Amino acid sequence: MSLIRWLSLPLLAMVVPAGFAVWAFPQGLSLARTAGIVAGWLGCGLLLVSLLLMVREVEVARWLGGLERMYRWHHRTGVVAYLALLAHPLLLAADGFAESPALAWQALAPVDESWPVWSGWLALILLMAGLTITFMRRLPYRAWRWLHAGLGVAVLFGLLHLVLLGIDEPVLPILAAAMLILAWRAMRDELGLAARPYIVESVRRVAAGTIEISLRPLATSLTAMPGQFVLVAFLTGANYRGCGEFHPFSVSSIDRNGVLRIGVKALGDCTRRMQSIQPGVPARVQGAFGSFLAGPPPASQLWVAGGIGVTPFIALLRAGGITSPTLLLYLYKTEAEAAFLAELRALAAETPFLTLQTVETGELLPDLERLLPDAHCLGCRDCYLCGPPELTAALKPALRKRGIAARRIHFENFDFR
């Protein structure tokens, strides 16, 4: 990624809030009051950037370094915004404290106040609750997603706080921008206006609890590369009721006629239901996103796949995309659940550069220290990891310990939280 593109997200996260703070910088007030007001505007600008980064547009995501990177910055700016907004009433109370403790207390516990102040506190409480939920990984995904989306309400209360305080400029343009971003996200991504129509062409079982679905485009097909993922929503067909939500799946192959294939493992409600999908079911597909496996082919590579995380690797192998010695370490719970295993064995037998090492791990994380090649074997390899976040999180330090530089460890987590 070029330096300009790499810098674009940090710059966006600094320039927009700084612009707000400069515009609204108060004159002639005490230091604490000035800092309190500036903290409020910084928080406001950061929240706007955070909102902007949840919009899923293929070209924007590609330019900014991928959807995963955008979501990382979406979370970062959201957390820093919260800290700045928390500092806002505390600094205003500190200013009041200089005059009298009662005045400071009034700012912190605004019982006698009215909606202009209450709406600010409500926004802060909703923001705090929303952020707590954001970090609760154990919550079922659907509940997590709805509660996380509730943060949009916190933003609207925050803006209401400014409107009720009588600050029209630049609040009304910010309010309009926030509403526009939320409406854009709802229409393009949740209602699927950014997605293209496809139809299920065929379905085949590739392991216990995993199927591979071929999707034929009904209009122009989207362009995807091995290693990328698409967001797919299955609708209702003759004997199938789709759950209608968009879920991310790595493409397992891309045919010349635009037919895409995805491997789907039953990991939750929707993917379990998808196991009974049949040809003819309409689908909507958005993407493609991501740049995993997209770099120039390095001298030699180590690929580690955890379970269904093997999908991007099979896509590249099917496309005949390896030109350098590659070791694929494929970890799965049981052989019956290992998707594409027979095909991988056949590919390894006929692909000179490919070495396949398969490991049945059972339910527990395997002993990575024992499994990974020695430091001198890894030497100059680039490492590509794909699978559940717990696995990639355990692999990264184990590889670093073997002297692999962080920039040579590339990974795709099958989770966006």
Ligand X SMILES: Cc1cc2nc3c(=O)[nH]c(=O)nc-3n(C[C@H](O)[C@H](O)[C@H](O)COP(=O)(O)OP(=O)(O)OC[C@H]3O[C@@H](n4cnc5c(N)ncnc54)[C@H](O)[C@@H]3O)c2cc1C
Please give the residue ranges that form the binding site for ligand X (CB under 6 A).
140-142, 229, 247-250, 262-265, 267-271, 308, 311, 412, 414-417
Tell me the residue type at 325: P
Residue 146 or 353 with smaller CB distance to ligand X: 146
Contact 152, 182 (CB under 8 A): yes
Tell me the residue type at 248: P
Separation of CA 354 from chain center: 31
Nearest-approach distance from CB 272 to ligand X, in angstroms? 6
Q: Which residues pair with 304 in a beta bridge?
A: 329, 385
Residue 265 or 410 with smaller CB distance to ligand X: 265
How far the first Cα of the chain sits from its last, in Å, is 24
Contact 29, 58 (CB under 8 A): no
Residue 33 or 273 with smaller CB distance to ligand X: 273
Nearest-approach distance from CB 93 to ligand X, in angstroms? 40
H helix runs in 320-388, sequence order? 341-350, 368-371, 375-378
Q: With the CA atoms of 37, 38, 42 and 47 taken in that order, what torsion angle do they form, in degrees rounded to the nearest 10?
A: 0
Residue with smallest beta-carbon separation from ligand X: 268
Q: Which residues pair with 359 in a beta bridge?
A: 331
Nearest-approach distance from CB 203 to ligand X, in angstroms? 14
Residue 247 or 381 with smaller CB distance to ligand X: 247
Nearest-approach distance from CB 118 to ligand X, in angstroms? 35
Q: Which residues pair with 410 in a beta bridge?
A: 384
Write out the two tokens for 19: 């612009």
Nearest-approach distance from CB 233 to ligand X, in angstroms? 9
Nearest-approach distance from CB 4 to ligand X, in angstroms? 25
CA distance 369 to 170: 56
Nearest-approach distance from CB 271 to ligand X, in angstroms? 3
Nearest alpha-carbon partner for 161 in 113, 90, 128? 113
Nearest-approach distance from CB 109 to ligand X, in angstroms? 39
**In the 8-state DSSP scheme, what is residue 308?**
G
108 φ/ψ angles, rounded to the nearest 5 degrees: -85, -35
Nearest-approach distance from CB 215 to ligand X, in angstroms? 13
Contact 304, 385 (CB under 8 A): yes
Residue 287: which residues within 8 A CB-CB, separation 6 or more? 58, 222, 224, 228, 229, 230, 231
Residue 324 or 334 with smaller CB distance to ligand X: 334
* Residue 365 buriedness (CB in 10 A; 0-12 / 13-18 / 19+): middle
Residue 95 or 412 with smaller CB distance to ligand X: 412
Residue 77 or 250 with smaller CB distance to ligand X: 250
Nearest alpha-carbon partner for 224 in 44, 38, 58? 58
Contact 280, 242 (CB under 8 A): no
Nearest-approach distance from CB 82 to ligand X, in angstroms? 23
Residue 33 or 333 with smaller CB distance to ligand X: 333
Residue 157 or 246 with smaller CB distance to ligand X: 246
Residue 221 or 392 with smaller CB distance to ligand X: 392
- Tokens 């990177």 appear where? 69
